[in-house]
């Protein structure tokens, strides 16, 4: 998949084939998003065309209503990785700025879809709205398409357990610790992408060295200890991860810490971006009266985590 950052860098003359576009923010790239993207890819193959995913960064609500902007399920890098797995030809990331937010629905179709992208078919979800203050809806798009000669393909909302799959629903499930339910809607285990940063090396002193993670995304599960898989340079490792404020050592920690103790791993990875896949929660975070008691608990956590990973490793589909 070719990634193009910025509408101004896209030149339709470079592609001598029908362009089929899937449009959406696609935060999380969950099952409903996947259905839209897969439809665009399949349509492009049928027409011998180009499948193009048009997405936006930052999240539109961060510009139009920043006080109500959601905690993101995926960073832009993570989103690109997930979209690439669906094998579209191009992902075009449009910079969503105030000027873009003020664009009318008609101008978006005329200037972006027709003039800039020369669209053949637009694939969207059935809740799609666009243009200034979401003034454009599906009926508006279909009417414009009819007179302009392009096609519109609408993907109906997907439901599971009678609930419509959405980023907001998945976000709520993750933040309330219902990771198995979230995985069922994502179509994969929930994961976090983040950079490895230097910590205080306390884990190494305790005998459990950790990779300290600065997450690229914002939606996280509740504090606690989790069994995880870590992807580093396309290699997978098992480990246990703690999310929390380390109350054993800090009375009033002002920053959340994400620390992963990776098993059978001893490489220098500071500055690298790694992916952590959450398998199962081991326990809640708690304060221990001494480092000795904490170490004893970490030994038990490691044993429990290794049993979980051994049981599930081969059947995990990620």
Name the CA dihedral angle for 288, 294, 225, 285, rounded to a multiple of 10 degrees. Answer: 0
**Helices assigned H by DSSP within 85-122:** 98-101, 105-107
Name the CA dihedral angle for 276, 249, 288, 174, rounded to a multiple of 10 degrees. Answer: -30
On whether the CB atoms of residues 135 and 104 are closer than 8 A, the answer is yes
On whether the CB atoms of residues 29 and 79 are closer than 8 A, the answer is yes
- 2-155: CATH topology is Rossmann fold (3.40.50)
Tell me what pLDDT residue 267 has. 86
On whether the CB atoms of residues 54 and 109 are closer than 8 A, the answer is no
* pLDDT single digits (tens) 199-255: 665 555 456 778 899 988 789 999 999 999 999 998 999 999 999 876 566 666 567
- Domain made up of 190-315: CATH architecture: Beta Barrel (2.40)
* pLDDT single digits (tens) 200-209: 655 554 567 7
- For the record, the structure tokens of 201 come out as 């090396």
* pLDDT single digits (tens) 1-47: 999 999 999 998 888 899 999 999 999 999 999 999 999 999 999 99
pLDDT at 315 over 60: no
What's the pTM?
A: 0.91
Residues with Cβ within 8 Å of 201's Cβ and at least 6 positions away in sequence, in order, are 209
On whether the CB atoms of residues 228 and 241 are closer than 8 A, the answer is yes
Angle formed by the axes of helices 167-175 and 179-186, nearest 10° = 160
Q: What is the DSSP letter of 313?
A: G
188 in helix, strand or coil?
coil
Q: Rounded CA gap, 122 and 21, in Å?
A: 5
Closest CA to 188 of 262, 124, 278: 278
Task: Enumerate the domain spans of the chain.
Answer: 2-155, 190-315
Q: Which strand (E) or helix (H) includes residue 230?
A: strand 224-232
* pLDDT single digits (tens) 262-313: 998 888 888 999 999 999 999 998 887 788 888 898 899 999 999 999 887 6
């Amino acid at each position: 998949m070719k990634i193009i950052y910025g509408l101004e860098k896209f030149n339709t003359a470079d592609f001598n084939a029908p362009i089929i576009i899937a449009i959406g923010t696609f935060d999380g790239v969950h099952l409903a998003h996947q259905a839209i993207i897969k439809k665009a890819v399949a349509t492009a193959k049928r027409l011998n065309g180009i499948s193009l995913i048009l997405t936006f960064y930052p999240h539109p609500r961060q510009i139009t209503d920043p006080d109500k902007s959601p905690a993101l399920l995926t960073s832009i890098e993570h989103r690109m990785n997930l979209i690439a797995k669906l094998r579209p030809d191009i992902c075009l990331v449009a910079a969503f700025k105030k000027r873009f937010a003020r664009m009318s629905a008609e101008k978006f179709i005329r200037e972006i879809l027709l003039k800039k992208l020369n669209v053949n078919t637009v694939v969207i979800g059935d809740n799609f709205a666009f243009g200034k203050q979401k003034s454009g809806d599906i009926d508006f798009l279909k009417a414009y398409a009819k007179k302009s000669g392009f096609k519109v393909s609408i993907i109906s909302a997907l439901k599971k357990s009678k609930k419509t799959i959405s980023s907001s629903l998945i976000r709520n499930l993750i933040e309330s610790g219902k990771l198995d339910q979230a995985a069922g809607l994502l179509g994969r285990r929930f994961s976090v992408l983040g950079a490895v940063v230097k910590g205080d090396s306390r884990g190494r002193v305790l005998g459990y060295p950790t990779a300290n993670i600065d997450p690229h995304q914002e939606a996280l599960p509740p504090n606690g200890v989790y069994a995880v898989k870590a992807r580093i340079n396309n290699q997978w490792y098992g480990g246990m991860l703690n999310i929390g404020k380390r109350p054993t050592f800090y009375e009033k920690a002002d920053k959340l810490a994400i620390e992963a103790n990776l098993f059978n791993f001893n490489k220098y990875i500071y500055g690298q971006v790694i992916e952590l896949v959450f398998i199962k929660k081991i326990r809640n975070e708690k304060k221990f009266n001494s480092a000795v008691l904490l170490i004893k608990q970490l030994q038990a956590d490691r044993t429990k985590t290794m049993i979980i990973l051994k049981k599930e490793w081969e059947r995990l589909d990620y």
